[in-house]
């Protein structure tokens, strides 16, 4: 798929992104959300997340076919150097490496934000997502057993971790995406777009 391109999310993308998310909510246990959020609520989520973290969309033939974002992993100040990643792909575009490319972009940007560890929670079993994390050097930390009930069954969630920065005695504070070097952020996107 040579025509893939990647860019930051825009508020006007919300409807298209919500359409990708809908089957995950209504037909799977991949997300534990059970009711579809409204378009206004979803716009607010995009705005809230992208205020501090990277939120990236993948476009193919002028259509959004996948998206990914990072967000705060836990709330206390000492956790500021961690981020959790989420990725969703239009089911017609599975197995084209889109999830991997989106993750690569997020991780490169998070390094600029002084993030040291990234995490992924995967409803298990999910061979595609587990394979993505393992192939990108994530280590499986463990599993929460029967931790969510959806689609008529109890489900496990496996947690994956990857170190992306060095640990030091005096780490620089987390830097919002809005305060990160714009030229470096754009370079990350441009480099990925050149590969496609």
- Model pLDDT for residues 113-136, shown as the tens digit of each residue: 999 999 999 999 888 899 899 999
Q: Residue 85's pLDDT band (boundaries 50, 70, 90)?
A: very high
Percent of the chain residues topping a pLDDT of 90? 88
CATH of the domain at 108: 3.40.630.30
Instruction: Give the mean pLDDT of the chain.
Output: 94
Percent of the chain residues topping a pLDDT of 70? 98
Three-state DSSP class for residue 147: strand
The crossing angle, in degrees rounded to 10, of helices 182-195 and 98-112 is: 160
* DSSP H or E run through 143: strand 139-150
How many helical (H) and strand (E) elements, i.e. helices and strands, does the chain have?
Answer: 5, 7
Q: Residue 194's pLDDT band (boundaries 50, 70, 90)?
A: confident
**Sequence-separated (6 or more) residues with CB below 8 Å from residue 44:** none
Residue 79: pLDDT over 80: yes
- Percent of residues in the chain assigned helix, strand, coil, to nearest 5: 40, 30, 30
Residue 196: pLDDT over 70: no
Per-residue model confidence (pLDDT) at position 34:
93
**Sequence-separated (6 or more) residues with CB below 8 Å from residue 107:** 85, 118, 162, 164
Distance CA 170, CA 20 (A): 41
Domain housing 16: 5-195
Neighbours of 52 (CB within 10 A): 18
Dump pLDDT digits (tens) for 86-98: 999 999 988 888 9
Q: Residue 172's pLDDT band (boundaries 50, 70, 90)?
A: very high
Structural domain count, the chain: 1
Q: Is the pTM of this model over 0.85?
A: yes
Three-state DSSP class for residue 59: strand
Per-residue model confidence (pLDDT) at position 2:
59
């Amino acid at each position: 798929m040579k025509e893939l391109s990647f860019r930051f999310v825009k508020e006007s993308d919300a409807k298209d992104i919500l359409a990708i998310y809908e089957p995950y909510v209504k037909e799977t246990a991949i997300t534990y959300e059970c009711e579809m959020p409204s378009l206004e609520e979803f716009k607010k989520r995009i705005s809230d997340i992208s205020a501090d973290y990277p939120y990236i969309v993948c476009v193919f033939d002028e259509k959004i076919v996948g998206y990914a974002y990072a967000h705060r992993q836990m709330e206390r100040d000492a956790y500021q150097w961690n981020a959790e990643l989420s990725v969703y792909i239009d089911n017609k575009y599975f197995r084209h490496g889109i999830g991997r490319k989106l993750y690569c972009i997020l991780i490169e940007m998070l390094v600029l934000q002084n993030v040291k560890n990234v995490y992924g929670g995967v409803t298990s079993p999910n061979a595609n997502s587990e394979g993505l994390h393992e192939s990108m050097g994530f280590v499986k930390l463990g599993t929460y057993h029967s931790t969510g009930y959806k689609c008529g069954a109890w489900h496990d969630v496996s947690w994956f971790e990857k170190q992306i920065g060095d640990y030091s005695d005096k780490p620089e504070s987390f830097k919002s995406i809005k305060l990160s070097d714009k030229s470096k952020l754009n370079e990350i996107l441009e480099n990925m777009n050149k590969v496609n």
